[in-house]
Amino acid sequence: MPIEFNPMRSFIYVDLKQEEYRHLLHHWLYYHHIPESVAQFEPYCTKYAFYDALPVPEGGERFGTVKMQLTEHHWLVNIMDPLLKVKAFKEYTPIEVLKWQGTVPEDAGNVMLTGDAGRATGGDNGCPPFVFAFCPMWWEEDIKGSQRMIEEGPNYRWNFAMTYPAGVSAEEGDQWLYEEVFPYFAEQECCKRILTSKVKQEINHCHMHRVVEMWFTGPAAWNRSAVLNAHKMKKPSWAKEGDVFPYLKSAFEIRGAFVMDYATCDVYSQYRGYVTRR
C-alpha cells in the first residue's frame, strides 16, 4: 500500500530545565539530532527549522513559555504511518536529553531511548509533557492582520499550543476563546496578527487542542496586553477564585515560545555540519 500524500506542519516546544544545560542541549541538537533527522526524513520533509526562544518576558512564566527553541517541520506525509516504522539507524537519544528539557525527572536513570519514546515523555510522571503538535500545513483561521506585510517591520511572535482543563469540552473552551480572548487581543493596537489552527490529534495523540500565533510590537507590549490588562477579559466558566489569564495550567495546558520572524537555523539552506568556533 503506498504512502498517502498528507501535507502538514508540526511544532515542537523545546524547554530548558536550567541554564547549566543550555550548551549541552545545543550540542546534542546540532551535532547529533540535525544530521540524524535529515538522513531519515529529507525525502518527505520540505522544511526543518529552529527558532531560538527569546528571553521569557515579564509575566511569561505562567504561560508555559519554553526557554530553548521552537522547532518547525513541514511534512508531505504522516510520519506516524506504520509504513515508515523501519529505520536504518536508531536515533542517538540518551535520557539526559529529556532531563535537560525537563520532561523526565533528574533521577530517571541512565538509558538510551528511541527518538519516538523521547518525544512521548512527560505528563504522567509529574513533569511537563513533551509537546509535538501537528497542524494543517496552512493556517486554518485568520483572526487579525491579513494585510500585514514584511515591509511593516519585524514581529515579536508568540506561538503557543493550548488545551482546556479536564471536564471542559473543546466547544466550551473555544467559545470563550473566540468570544473573549481573540476579540480582546484583536482590539490591541500592539497586536498585529492573530492566526490559529486545530491540532491534528489523530496523528500522535498530542493532548493539545489548538495552536495560536499572535504577533506583537515587542515584549513590553505583550506584557501590557497579556498580563497587566488581561483582567479586562471575561473569565471562563472553569476559573477559580484568584486565577488569572490564561486560566490554564502552565506547561501542561499551555506551552509556547516567543520567537522572531527569521529562523535561527533553516536546516536545509543553512546547516553545513557542526563546524565549531576556532
**What pLDDT does residue 203 have?**
96
> What is the mean predicted confidence (pLDDT) over 156-164?
98
Residue 109 confidence class, pLDDT cut points 50, 70, 90: confident
Residue 124 confidence class, pLDDT cut points 50, 70, 90: low
> What is the mean predicted confidence (pLDDT) over 63-92?
95
Q: Taking the CA atoms of 81, 3, 139 and 257 in sequence, report the sign of the dihedral they define.
A: positive
Q: Is 247 left (phi over 0), alpha (psi -120 to 50) or beta?
A: left
**What pLDDT does residue 182 have?**
98
Percentage of the chain beyond pLDDT 70 is: 95
Q: Which residues pair with 197 in a beta bridge?
A: 211
Q: Is 62 buried (19+), middle (13-18) or exposed (0-12) by CB count in 10 A?
A: middle
**What pLDDT does residue 111 have?**
74
Q: Residue 82 pLDDT more than 80?
A: yes
Q: What is the pTM of this model?
A: 0.95
Cis amide prior to 94 (ω within 30 degrees): no
Q: Residue 98 pLDDT more than 90?
A: yes
Pick the CATH number of 139-259 from 3.40.440.10, 1.20.1250.20, 3.40.50.300, 3.30.70.100: 3.30.70.100
Across all residues in the chain, what is the average pLDDT?
A: 95
**What pLDDT does residue 123 have?**
65
Q: Is 177 left (phi over 0), alpha (psi -120 to 50) or beta?
A: alpha
> What is the mean predicted confidence (pLDDT) over 103-129?
75
Q: Cα 150–48–162 angle (5° rounding)?
A: 75
**What pLDDT does residue 121 have?**
61
**What pLDDT does residue 108 have?**
83
Percentage of the chain beyond pLDDT 90 is: 91
Lowest average pLDDT, out of 35-39, 116-120, 271-275, goes to: 116-120
Q: Residue 122 pLDDT more than 70?
A: no
**What pLDDT does residue 134 have?**
98
Residue with more model confidence, 237 or 2: 237
Lowest average pLDDT, out of 43-52, 121-130, 219-228, goes to: 121-130
Q: Would you list the domain boundaries of the chain?
A: 8-134+263-270, 139-259
> What is the mean predicted confidence (pLDDT) over 166-172?
98
The DSSP code for 65 is B
Q: Residue 125 pLDDT more than 80?
A: no
Write out the H or E segment, with its range, that includes residue 213.
strand 210-216
**What pLDDT does residue 110 have?**
79
Lowest average pLDDT, out of 123-137, 151-165, 187-201, 230-244, goes to: 123-137
